[in-house]
Amino acid sequence: MKHEVVITAYGIVSPLGNTPEEFEKRMFAGESGVKSIKGNLVGENFPVPYGAVIGRSDLPESEFFKTADKEKILKSWLMTAVATEQCLKNIPVDTKVDAIVYGTADGVSFELVTEVLQGGLGEDYDHRRFCCESSLDVLNSVLKSKGMSDVSVENVISVNSACASGNQTIGMAYQGISTGRWERCLVGGVDARCEPSNFLNFFLLGALTTDDVEPHKASRPFAKDRSGFVRGEGAAVLMMETRESAVKRGAKILGVVKGYGCTSDAYRLTDGRDDGSAVMQAIEEALSTAGIKKEDIDYINAHGTSTPLNDRLETLAIKKVFGAGAYKIPVSSLKSQIGHSTIASSAIEAVACLIMLQRQKVSPTINYHVPDPECDLDYVPNESRDVKLTHVLSNSFGFGGQNACIVFSKE
């Protein structure tokens, strides 16, 4: 028996706001969460001028870390705890969670190594700070602290497939729940790496924009004058479960996970194949598993990084899959507003898609003022738009040719 998979709760930490309500308001208003980092996070001569950074002081208080010194806690832990607590806020304590599938980039960074070298490894040093799965431990600990289940180790799964991670966590849970392996699963991702060494890594890859513009104008997906993405941060946690379990406990269903497609083209570290074939296959697989026709898609949440190559290839793949119908589908990129939080990006965008389905409204691609002849679809320029939505497609394409696409449907 195949079970229908639904989403019943979510929590979010983002450059547009650290509650679902604030995020929704600023997203539809077309605001930007990109800030200047010079003279603050980095020096005046640093080559990268801006980022979609989330300050520790901006984060809501966490019940789990309420007695701790915030400065001694990894920011990814704080963000994960806040997003998880939001997600679990209205869920009864006797609700059993069977699995956690979470995207994380925790682990050793230059800043963490520097801290250790300067301070030494005292007896009370928390060695989990070096563990790439540490945010999953936090998520599971928050569950336990609320009197909910302690998920067994074999069902706590860490994902790091770069920019495709969020959608892959949703896709893996979709497969596990629909086949009856799990009844409920927490999914999502966190990325809190807006730090100098990480900025430099992407700068040296030629992926970041460094144009001399105001920060809120830096991310320009699909526009002819785009020149790279803006590094961002964020976290999102979502509750996925069978429709039967949601109905049984009287939970409000926020959306249906209808289909999932995942491919790898193993081409180059940062580039996709020129023909877009693996991207097309991921989109087509998502539509096929959803059991819907191409013309049923009402909106596409684009990966839309604002790099010259990605936006051109994504546009090409959409046109090849949807044919002439591609020009009738609104396509927008949330990264124009919140930058690119890599590991967390498509988990945050999943929350955005659910909000759009509930509100029957799509968010804009801001900073779209100079059309590109090679990117000639309807990118919902600069202002949000009321659209009748039943099925939406969310794309995520990671470094190394990792492609993951999800179809979300209205309840």
> Is 340 a known active-site residue?
yes
Of 340, 353, 391, 405, catalytic: 340
Asked which of 236-240, 309-313, 330-334 is least confident by mean pLDDT, the reply is: 309-313
The pLDDT, as a whole number, for residue 114 is 67
Of 163, 353, 375, 405, catalytic: 163
Tens of pLDDT, residues 254-306:
999 999 999 988 777 767 777 888 999 999 999 999 999 999 999 999 999 99
Give yes or no for residue 99 having a pLDDT over 90.
Answer: yes
Tens of pLDDT, residues 202-213:
999 899 999 999
Give yes or no for residue 398 having a pLDDT over 90.
Answer: no
The pLDDT, as a whole number, for residue 283 is 98
Across the chain, what does the average pLDDT equal? 92
Give yes or no for residue 93 having a pLDDT over 70.
Answer: yes
Of 303, 353, 375, 391, catalytic: 303
Tens of pLDDT, residues 127-138:
666 666 789 999
The pLDDT, as a whole number, for residue 130 is 64
Percent of the chain with pLDDT over 70: 92
Can you give the three-state secondary structure of the chain, one letter per residue? CCCCEEEEEEEEEECCECCHHHHHHHHHCCCCCCEECECCCECCCCCCCEEECCCHHHCCCCCCCCCCCHHHCCHHHHHHHHHHHHHHCCCCCCCCCCEEEEEECCCCCHHHHHHHHHHCCCCCCCHHHHCCCHHHHHHHHHHHHCCCCCCCHHHEEEECCHHHHHHHHHHHHHHHHHCCCCCEEEEEEEECCCCHHHHHHHHHCCCECCCCCCHHHCCCCCECCCCCECEECEEEEEEEEEHHHHHHCCCCCCEEEEEEEEEECCCCCCCCCCCCHHHHHHHHHHHHHHCCCHHHEEEEECCCCCCHHHHHHHHHHHHHHHHHHHHHCEEECCHHHHCECHHHHHHHHHHHHHHHHHHCEECCECCCCCEECCECCECCECCCEECCCCEEEEEEEECCCEEEEEEEECC
The pLDDT, as a whole number, for residue 126 is 65
